[in-house]
């Protein structure tokens, strides 16, 4: 972007100087670093910045709420390994975006939240500026790093620090505070150009120590019932070929975490996704690749892990992750690409496959579970149950393996995760580490924008409500997004009754709502589908046409269970009346 040219014709004796300003320097710095897409909501003090960025060739996507823009930026980071950029106005806009920044940090996605802010002098004396807030202080505990730029000449270095902090080591969310005054600050254009920084090797390879590789291989060699768990860090690393080689050369069954599904296809003969309980309980050595032993893996201990003593090998870029829940006998610290390559090299030409007794037992359990589920997926019941509806979507994804699946809800999430096989890496995007509702439309928009692939968003009716207004955004940018709402009239089920008064129960919504009409209101296609056959026709038509579509899939309100598959996490009142 060429800098603003101004002539200083006044009394200056020297020749006219070329000038630039904060607006242009931020744009130049973003472009210099290949950051060409911004997700945000305009307003004071960033409205003109958005316009100017768009005029300069940056894609600026305007949302209806900053949280959705933030979720879009976070998943853009996951998909591209470049920090996703979210742009918000001060205080309330900033706070709306902050949830997504914290989400990015929790999920280890690189993201930068750039927010305009009020004037330091007034904020610090608490004199009541427009949208006054000490945003830097608020952001700090919720992200990986937070910086404020006060001088135009520091914009280049400020953005460089933000980029490096977001993508190096364990990726995460970074806050960049830009006070309103900064945008208009003027400086010499040549000095400005020199102040910009192109970040070189933003996420340097981190090689594992050779002895950590030898230790890990020795533990693996001694295993009788080994298991590999692939997490979303492995998907993020984009070391797909190396990971596939490692899994196949080792012959070890692998269990993909939700967003690692498809890293190797779910139908791969070594996939143990459909034998989850068995492999967790009965394995003796578990190698974690880009997966944390957090609640999603029952912290590596307790009933789900059975009585068999376990040895854990863990590959992660974050040294502090080791021993966070249980002892890690073989920590391998480094980036996944380098670690997996080093393991492969250390395995040499031949590698003894795990005992057939183990791999056959896993395959048997998997095949039994798959066979048990198969007939349920074929039903054409009206009203639909989850399995009937999901059976249809499973076939559609099998036929369109490069489509991106977004998934949130409780039953809608947990059942879709098991039913819908994934065939390619980074095609399943969901609620992640926090199990957060509201990622749906932001993720769908960013997935379409960043990849150009068709997107299928499978949403519980409650989950959709958190970001539903963004269907207007989907229509406005004419994105190839098909939203399917599993409408069971409520959270978990649509049948709860309040016996104490006239208000509806806390978990139910307006009955038989027609979400499809929301999409029609903005010029998209809306369909009400009451049978699996109708659902199939509507989704295929949407995926063929690429037109923004919303399908209201009518699901039996009695079909779901409380909290899906994590009902055990609900505390129970001992005093509750039966
Ligand atoms: O091995 P076994 O025999 O055990 O069998 C397992 C697999 O082997 C097998 N399986 C298969 N069988 C056959 N074939 C295939 N292909 C196959 N694949 C697997 O199936 C079983 C189960 O496998 P799974 O799923 O892998 O294993 P399991 O045991 O479930 O795994 C454990 C977990 C913990 C890893 C897993 O359950 C998991 O990943 N869970 C994530 C759960 C989660 O994050 N949930 C979302 C949060 S719930 C709640 O908080 C909600 N809220 C509150 C709220 C939130 N979250 N956020 C915000 C901002 N505000 C509020 C709300 C409001 S949910 C919610 C809305 C819900 O209502 P909706 O209307 O949206 O949705 P509906 O419920 O549909 O109405
Ligand atoms: P899941 O929810 O799928 O189990 P988690 O989010 O818990 O996955 O874990 C992801 C892990 O991957 C984090 O501990 C993070 O530090 C790690 N990670 C992310 N990127 C890389 C990378 N390039 N190399 C190594 N580890 C990584
Ligand atoms: Mg529901």
The token pair at 555 is 């699901």
Residues in contact with 131: Cβ distance below 8 Å, sequence separation at least 6, in sequence order: 44, 89, 90, 91, 92, 93, 118
In tens, the pLDDT along 189-222 reads 999 999 999 999 999 999 999 999 999 999 999 9
Average pLDDT over residues 283-303: 98
Partners of residue 528 on adjacent β-strands: 552
Distance 416 CA to ligand 1 centre (A): 8
pLDDT at 3: 46
Residue 15's pLDDT band (cuts 50, 70, 90): low
pLDDT at 577: 64
pLDDT at 5: 45
Reduce the DSSP state of residue 402 to 3 states and report it. Answer: coil
In tens, the pLDDT along 29-59 reads 999 999 999 999 999 999 999 999 999 999 9
Annotation: CATH topology of 4-195: Rossmann fold (3.40.50)
Residue with tokens 């579509």: 549
Average predicted confidence (pLDDT) for the chain:
96
- Share above pLDDT 70 across residues of the chain, in percent, rounded to a whole number: 97
Nearest CA, atom 6, ligand 2: 107
pLDDT at 576: 77
Measured distance CA(178)–CA(135) in Å, rounded: 10
Closest atom of ligand 2 to 203 CA is 23
Distance 134 CA to ligand 2 centre (A): 31
Question: 249 in ligand 1 pocket by Cβ < 6 Å?
Answer: no
Average pLDDT over residues 244-264: 98
Relative to the alpha carbon of 564, which ligand is closest?
1
Question: 488 in ligand 1 pocket by Cβ < 6 Å?
Answer: yes
In tens, the pLDDT along 363-400 reads 999 999 999 999 999 999 999 999 999 999 999 999 99
State how far the alpha carbon of 15 is from the alpha carbons of 12, 140, 509, in Å.
Answer: 8, 45, 69
pLDDT at 575: 87
Annotation: CATH topology of 210-364: Rossmann fold (3.40.50)
Q: Is the peptide bond before 69 cis (omega within 30 degrees of 0)?
A: no
Residue 2's pLDDT band (cuts 50, 70, 90): very low
- pTM for this predicted structure: 0.97
The token pair at 133 is 């807030």
Relative to the alpha carbon of 303, which ligand is closest?
1
In tens, the pLDDT along 405-422 reads 999 999 999 999 999 999
Question: 436 in ligand 1 pocket by Cβ < 6 Å?
Answer: yes
Nearest CA, atom 20, ligand 2: 233
Burial of 452 (0-12, 13-18, 19+ CB in 10 A): exposed
Given this chain, do its domains 210-364 and 378-562 carry the same CATH topology?
A: yes
Which stretches does DSSP call E strand in 157-276?
173-179, 186-188, 226-230, 254-256
Show the ligand 2 pocket: residues with CB < 6 angstroms.
Answer: 107-108, 170-171, 231-233, 236-237, 257, 259-260, 290-292, 294, 296, 316-318, 321, 335-336, 433
> What does the domain layout of the chain look like in residue ranges?
4-195, 210-364, 378-562
Annotation: CATH topology of 378-562: Rossmann fold (3.40.50)
Relative to the alpha carbon of 386, which ligand is closest?
1
């Amino acid at each position: 972007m060429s800098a603003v040219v101004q002539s200083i014709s006044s009394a200056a004796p020297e020749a006219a100087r070329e000038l630039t300003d904060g607006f242009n320097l931020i744009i130049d710095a973003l472009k210099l670093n290949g950051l060409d897409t911004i997700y945000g909501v305009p307003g004071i003090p960033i409205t003109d910045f958005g316009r100017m960025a768009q005029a300069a060739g940056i894609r600026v996507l305007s949302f209806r709420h900053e949280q959705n823009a933030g979720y879009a930026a976070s998943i853009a980071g996951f998909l591209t390994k470049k920090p996703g950029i979210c742009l918000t106005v001060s205080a309330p806009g900033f706070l709306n975006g902050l949830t997504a920044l914290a989400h990015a940090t929790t999920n280890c996605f690189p993201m930068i939240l750039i927010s305009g802010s009020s004037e330091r002098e007034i904020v610090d004396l608490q004199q009541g500026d427009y949208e006054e807030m000490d945003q830097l202080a608020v952001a700090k505990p919720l992200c990986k790093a937070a910086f404020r730029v006060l001088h135009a000449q520091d914009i280049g270095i400020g953005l460089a620090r933000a980029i490096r902090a977001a993508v190096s080591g364990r990726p995460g969310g970074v806050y960049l505070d830009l006070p309103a005054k900064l945008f208009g600050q003027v400086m010499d254009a040549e000095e400005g150009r020199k102040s910009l920084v192109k970040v070189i090797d933003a996420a340097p390879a981190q090689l594992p120590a050779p002895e950590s590789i030898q230790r890990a291989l020795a533990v693996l060699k001694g295993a009788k019932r080994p298991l590999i768990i692939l997490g979303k860090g492995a998907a993020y690393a984009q070391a797909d070929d190396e990971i596939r080689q490692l899994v196949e050369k080792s012959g070890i069954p692998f269990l993909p975490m939700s967003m690692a599904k498809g890293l190797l296809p779910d139908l791969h003969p070594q996939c143990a996704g459909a034998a989850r309980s068995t492999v967790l309980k009965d394995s003796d050595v578990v190698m974690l690749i880009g997966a944390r032993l957090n609640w999603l893996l029952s912290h590596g201990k307790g009933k789900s892990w059975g009585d068999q003593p376990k040895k854990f090998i863990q590959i992660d870029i974050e040294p502090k992750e080791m021993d966070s829940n249980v002892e890690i006998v073989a920590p391998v610290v480094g980036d996944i690409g380098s670690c997996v390559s080093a393991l492969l090299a250390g395995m040499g030409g031949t590698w003894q496959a795990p005992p057939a007794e183990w791999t056959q037992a896993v395959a048997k359990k998997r095949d039994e579970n798959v066979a048990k589920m198969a007939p349920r997926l074929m039903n054409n019941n009206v009203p639909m149950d989850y399995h009937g509806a999901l059976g249809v979507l499973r076939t559609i994804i099998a036929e369109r393996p490069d489509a991106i699946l977004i998934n949130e809800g409780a039953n809608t999430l947990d059942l879709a995760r098991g039913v819908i096989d994934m065939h390619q890496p980074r095609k399943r995007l969901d609620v992640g580490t926090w199990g957060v509702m509201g990622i749906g439309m932001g993720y769908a928009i960013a997935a379409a924008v960043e990849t150009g692939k068709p997107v299928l968003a499978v949403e519980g009716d409650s989950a959709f409500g958190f970001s539903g207004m963004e269907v207007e955004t989907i229509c406005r940018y004419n994105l190839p997004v098909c939203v399917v709402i599993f409408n069971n009239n409520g959270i978990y089920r649509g049948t709860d009754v309040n016996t104490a008064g006239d208000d509806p129960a806390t978990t139910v919504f307006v009955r038989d709502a027609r979400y499809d009409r929301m999409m029609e209101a903005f010029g998209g296609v809306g369909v009400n589908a009451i049978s699996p056959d109708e659902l199939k026709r509507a989704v295929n038509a949407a995926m063929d046409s690429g037109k923004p579509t919303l399908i209201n899939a009518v699901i039996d309100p009695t079909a779901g269970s409380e909290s899906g598959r994590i009902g055990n996490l609900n505390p129970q009142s001992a005093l509750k009346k039966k």
